[in-house]
A and B are shown apart, each in its own frame.
Chain A
Amino acid sequence: MRIKQLLIGITASVIAISSYVEIAVADLKFPMLVYRTGAYAPNGIPNADGFVDYYKMINARDGGIGGEKILHPECETGYKTQVGVECYEKNKKDAMVFQPMSTGITYQLIPKATADGVTVYSTGYGRTSAANGKVFKWIFNAPVTYWDGASIAVRHILKQNLGNIRGKKIALVYHNSAYGKEPIRTLQTLSKKHGFKLMLLPVDHPGQEQKATWLKIRKARPDNVLMWGWGVMNQVAVKSAASIKFPMDKFIGIWWSGSENDVLPAGQGAHGYKSLTFNAPGDSYQVHKDIKKYVHDKGEASGDGSHFGTVLYNRGLFQAMVQVEAAVVAQKIHGTSKITPAMYRDGMEAVNLSAARMEELGFKDFAPPFKNTCENHGGSGLAAVQQWDAKAKKWNMITEYMYGDSDVVQKLIAEDSSKYAAEQKIAERCN
């Protein structure tokens, strides 16, 4: 009797598994590597929601891209590299573009995607020197890189100190990983150039334990603190800074350390905290109205819909918009709506998001215009500073979009990418 049941069970499951056939469709596949679980979920969720809502809106409003529906299968990585690899392998067939949302996974995918011919778009994160399109054919990191970010933060500090920061002390609180270490070399170069002292304070994954870090800051009293944090680390850092009464307007986070989730837990203590950003906050843009109309009002919002208009949600919209725009451009270049991954890459390389084009897309004044070229995959390099108003509970842009120190950054990018090209025996393109 038991054996009979077992046999039935086995047969049933074999039938179930074999009946699972991959549905072959002509749709455009934009696989998503997301993390809605784990230590980085507070940041991963709003960003993923932004992506999904934008894709859904395009499917509902325009019927897809040039008539081709967007498929956006999600794969949960939990910010883990090994799972990211599994997700990549599972979804890479006919995939247009991967957006890993993790510097670690990006590093992992750079050689693999290059070999497989799949585009990787790491929007303002990942390997900075991938901005050099001559070496990194399949990798894009527009509109701005970490090294731009580091120099923009220093530029902002310079401006506040009337152009002289000789002898000042700047501390970098960073996630002790490839991501957090990215800006160190730029900051070291800049510290020589401008004569400030650099203090390096690593925080280990996941970033909850920062007592020692902030004790050191209390003792050494740096004039400014920069932060490269992500996930729960941001909240803890902002809270710790508030509790040692560090002047919040001297505390500047990278664009991944400046969302509502990061500052709300610290309450009024977070008032005046600054962060860089490459897109505007708020939910009054045309694209938000469209999403409201085509997605949210139909009850199809991704997640619980509560992140609408937050910083990371908006960034997700921006990232998704660039990815969709690349497909549009690719369709135009190749004159077909059924584009292949290789055609998609051509589109990504020819993306030209002028102010007029952004307005057409419903992103008027949402982000500075940028374009990709064969040589430059790093975009405009523009970012602005935003400041948290804890009373009104909103982010305010307090500067114009500014450029980083391009002399320093371009030199470092050329150095690092040529080192990579030599290691991997890559011949330069675009000549």
Chain B
Amino acid sequence: MLYKETGQYKSSYKSDHAIFPLIQDKIAFSTLMFIAFLIVPFIINSYWEKAILVPFLIFSLAAIGLNILTGYCGQVSLGTGGFMAVGAFSTYKIMTYFPDLNIMIIVLISGLITAAVGILFGLPSLRIKGFYLAVATLASQFFLVWLFNKVPWFYNYSDTGQITVSERLMFGIPVTGATAPPYATYLFCLILVVLLGFAAKNLIRSKMGRSWMAIRDMDIAAEIIGVPPLKTKLSAFAISSFYIGVAGALYFAVFLGAIEVTESFDIMTISFPVLFMIIIGGLGSMLGSFLGAAFIVTLPIGLKFIMVDLVGLSAVTAKHFEITIWGLLMIIFLIVEPHGLARLWSIAKEKLRRWPFPY
């Protein structure tokens, strides 16, 4: 009833290929964009910015990146933290070498540098598959973090190995550094996420995306029908790393502002959580990347809010509960809905189509 597609005829290829073919989806998406661009910036405060929205946007980008590689092309990667570190350190080095360069350009260049590094670490994927590839990417995680900690050139010979962002402006408003207003950092991330999100969605629907999925579903068959594995796998690595690199650049420059590589890009703080995001959100789904990121970012904060602020438990008891509940939810989730939140959403759509008269 609410979500009915009857009567919506498509009379041109253009309307048939639209990203949101249904009018309901169009309305929902436009409303969301309206709220995100025109309402949230006016009501956002620094808590919502630093604790929820900016990390959500950044992790969405990282999840899209990993989803391209793992969800669409079928190459498991545990190197997300390492690649995000490449993005962060590229940003830092470019910032210090070219103090007048616009931050948006710096972030995109950092993404390109990460893409190059991604191609390099993607080379073994032509020979090794599945679990073995996961181990190879795990090596890249450890190698990259070690590298940025070991070679002082990367952190400009600072005594502590910390890298700190300096203030950069967009249209005269600071978007990095401590004085950046919440709406500026939020909008900066949001614009990048929306643009890159659309780009990813369209890439997936293009020839390139279809060849990724062909490789994912059965690489030998794909090769036989003329999908070149070298080009396909490396392009997936490159584009995935680009997204992750941009996420890393934002994580450093916009979100945290000061970073220490061993702590901030640790496998337990980045690589596994991002992998959980796409598994919980839904492998091979754009919507899933966002839902997964929202779930992982807000769950601990939400649980803490409920237990400490509403129920009044002590902070440490709440933390112990949080760790337990987090693990439990993860297991329950994988048993009840192994295809993730995106699948739940499509089931809900099915239900909505028939509601309130299910047969």
- Nearest-neighbour CB distance to chain B for A129, whole angstroms, equals 9
Cβ A185 vs Cβ B263 within 8 A: no
- Chain A residues whose C-beta falls within 8 Å of the C-beta of B256 in the assembled complex: 81-82, 85, 108
B141 to chain A: closest CB distance in Å? 13
Segment touching A, from B60-68, B103-111, B280-288, B315-323: B315-323
Cross-chain contact A36 with B316 (CB below 8 angstroms): yes
Q: In angstroms, how far is the closest chain B Cβ from the Cβ of A335?
A: 32
Q: How far is the CB of B92 from chain A (nearest CB, A)?
A: 12
Say yes or no: A16-B160 contact (C-beta < 8 A), given A85-B51, A89-B51, A104-B263.
no
Q: How far does the Cβ of B301 sit from chain A's closest Cβ, in whole Å?
A: 7
Q: Does A34 contact B315, Cβ atoms closer than 8 Å? A: yes
Q: A195 to B269, alpha carbons, bound, how many Å?
A: 42
* A181 near B55: Cβ-Cβ < 8 Å: no
Chain A window 278-320, contacts with chain B (Cβ cutoff 8 Å), 1 for yes, 0 for no: 0000000000000000000000000000000000000000000
Interface residues of B (CB under 8 A from A): 46-47, 49-51, 55, 149, 159-162, 164, 166, 177-179, 256-258, 260, 262-264, 266, 269, 301, 309-310, 314-316, 318-320, 323
Q: Determine if B47 and A115 form an interchain contact, defined as CB atoms under 8 angstroms apart.
A: no
Proximity bits, A125-141, B CB within 8 Å = 1, else 0: 00100000000000000
The listed residue (B50, B178, B316) touching A86 by CB distance below 8 A is B50
Q: Name the contact of B177 in the complex, choosing from A34, A85, A111, A177 (C-beta under 8 A).
A: A111
A305, chain B: closest CB distance, angstroms? 15
Stretch from A70-78, A212-220, A363-371, A374-382 forming part of the interface with B = A70-78
Query: In the assembled complex, which residues on chain B have CB atoms less than 8 Å from the CB atom of A85?
Result: 50-51, 256
> Is the beta-carbon distance between B262 and A76 smaller than 8 angstroms?
no
- Cβ of A114 within 8 Å of any chain B Cβ, yes or no, is yes
Q: Which of A20, A37, A86, A112 contacts B323 (CB 8 A)?
A: A37
Contact between chains at B46 and A111 (CB < 8 Å): no
Bound CA–CA A75/B177 (angstroms): 24
Task: Show 8 residue pairs from A and B whose CB-CB distance is below 8 angstroms, ordered by the A residue.
Answer: A76-B315, A76-B318, A90-B51, A104-B260, A111-B177, A112-B178, A114-B178, A423-B166
Chain B interface, >50% SS class? helix
The answer to whether A205 and B51 touch across the interface, beta carbons within 8 angstroms, is no
Contact call B316/A107, Cβ cutoff below 8 A: no
A178 at the interface (CB under 8 A from B): yes
Top 4 closest pairs, chain A to chain B, by CB: A111-B178, A178-B160, A36-B316, A115-B178
Complex-state Cα separation, A253 to B264, whole angstroms:
26
- Determine whether the beta carbon of B258 is less than 8 Å from that of A108: yes
| A176 touching B149, Cβ below 8 Å | yes
Residues in B with CB closer than 8 Å to A178 are 160-162, 260
B326 → chain A closest CB, angstroms:
12
Task: Give every chain B residue within 8 A of A115 (Cβ-Cβ).
Answer: 178-179
Q: Is the CB of B319 within 8 A of A107?
A: no
For residue A82, which residues in chain B have a CB less than 8 angstroms away from its CB? 55, 256, 264, 269
User: Which B residues lie within 8 Å of A428 (CB)?
Assistant: none
The chain A residue with its CB closest to the CB of B257 is A111
Other-chain contact of A181, B161, B178, B263 (Cβ < 8 Å):
B161
Q: Is A182 an interface residue, CB under 8 A from the partner?
A: yes
Contacts of A397 in B (CB 8 A): none
Interface residues of A in 203-227 (CB under 8 A from B): 204-205
Contact A76 B319 (CB under 8 A): yes
The answer for the CA separation of A78 and B257 in the assembled complex, in Å, is 20
Bits for A405-420, please: 1 = Cβ < 8 Å to B, else 0: 0000000000010000
Closest B residue by C-beta to A37 = B319
Interface residue? A17 (CB, 8 A): yes
The answer for the CA separation of A134 and B49 in the assembled complex, in Å, is 31
A80 at the binding interface (Cβ < 8 Å): yes
Q: Are A112 and B257 in contact (CB under 8 A)?
A: yes
Number of chain A residues close to chain B: CB under 8 A: 41
Give residues of chain A (59-83) contacting chain B, Cβ–Cβ below 8 Å: 73-76, 78, 80-82
With a cutoff of 8 Å between Cβ atoms, the chain B residues found around residue A116 in the complex are 178
A-side interface mostly: helix
Which residue, A90, A92, A416, has most C-beta atoms of chain B within 10 A?
Answer: A90
A81 touches B264 (CB 8 A): yes
For A185, the chain B residues whose CB sits under 8 A away are: 159
* B residues in contact with A34, CB < 8 Å: 315-316
For the complex formed, measure the closest distance between the CB of B135 and the CB atoms of chain A, giving whole angstroms: 19
Q: B257 near A76 (CB under 8 angstroms)?
A: no
Report A-chain residues with C-beta under 8 Å of the C-beta of B49: 89
Contacts of B301 in A (CB 8 A): 86
- Residues of A near B159 (CB, < 8 A) are 181-182, 184-185, 416
Closest to B50 in A: A89
B167–chain A nearest beta-carbon distance, Å: 8
Is the CB–CB distance between B260 and A80 below 8 Å?
no
Most chain-A Cβ atoms within 10 A of its Cβ — which of B159, B178, B264, B309?
B159
Contacts of A424 in B (CB 8 A): 166
What separation, in Å, do the CA atoms of A139 and B320 have in the docked complex? 32
CB < 8 Å neighbour of A78 from B164, B166, B264, B319: B319
- Closest residue of chain A to B314 (Cβ to Cβ) is A74
Report the bound CA distance from A90 to B52 in whole Å.
11
In the bound assembly, the distance between CA atoms of A114 and B177 in angstroms comes to 11
Question: Bound state CA distance, A110 and B164, in angstroms?
Answer: 11
Which of chain A's residues has its CB closest to B251's CB? A82
Contact (Cβ within 8 A) B257 A205: no
Q: A130-177: which residues lie under 8 A (CB-CB) from chain B?
A: 176-177
Decide if B262 touches A36 in the complex (CB within 8 Å): no
CB-CB < 8 A to B160: which residues of A? 107, 127, 178, 181-182
Q: CA of A86 to CA of B149 in the docked complex: distance in angstroms?
A: 25
Residue of A nearest to B177 (CB): A111
A75: chain B residues within 8 A (beta carbon): 315
Query: What is the chain B residue whose CB lies nearest that of A412?
Result: B159
Distance (Å) between the CB of B55 and the closest chain A CB?
A: 7
- Do A205 and B266 have beta carbons less than 8 Å apart? yes
Task: Collect the chain B residues with CB atoms within 8 Å of residue A20's CB.
Answer: 309-310
User: Complex Cα distance A81/B270, Å?
Assistant: 13
**Complex: chain A residue closest to B48, CB-CB:** A89
A residues near B315, Cβ cutoff 8 Å: 34, 36, 73-76
Q: Please report the C-alpha to C-alpha distance between residue A114 and residue B315 in the assembled complex, in whole angstroms.
A: 27
User: Which residues of chain B are within 8 angstroms of A17 by Cβ–Cβ distance?
Assistant: 310
Q: Could you tell me the distance between the alpha carbons of A115 and B50 in the complex, rounded to whole angstroms?
A: 15
Q: Cβ of B47: which chain A residues have Cβ within 8 Å of it?
A: 89-90
Q: 6 more A-B contacts (CB under 8 A) besides A89-B46, A108-B256, A205-B262?
A: A76-B319, A80-B269, A81-B264, A90-B47, A111-B164, A111-B178
Task: Return A240 CB to nearest CB of chain B, in Å.
Answer: 21
Instruction: Check A177 against B262 for contact (C-beta < 8 Å).
Output: yes
Looking across the interface, which residue of chain A has its beta carbon closest to that of B323? A37
What mask results when residues 177 to 189 of chain A are scored 1 for a CB within 8 Å of chain B, else 0? 1100110110000
Which residues from B are CB-within-8-Å of A205?
262-263, 266
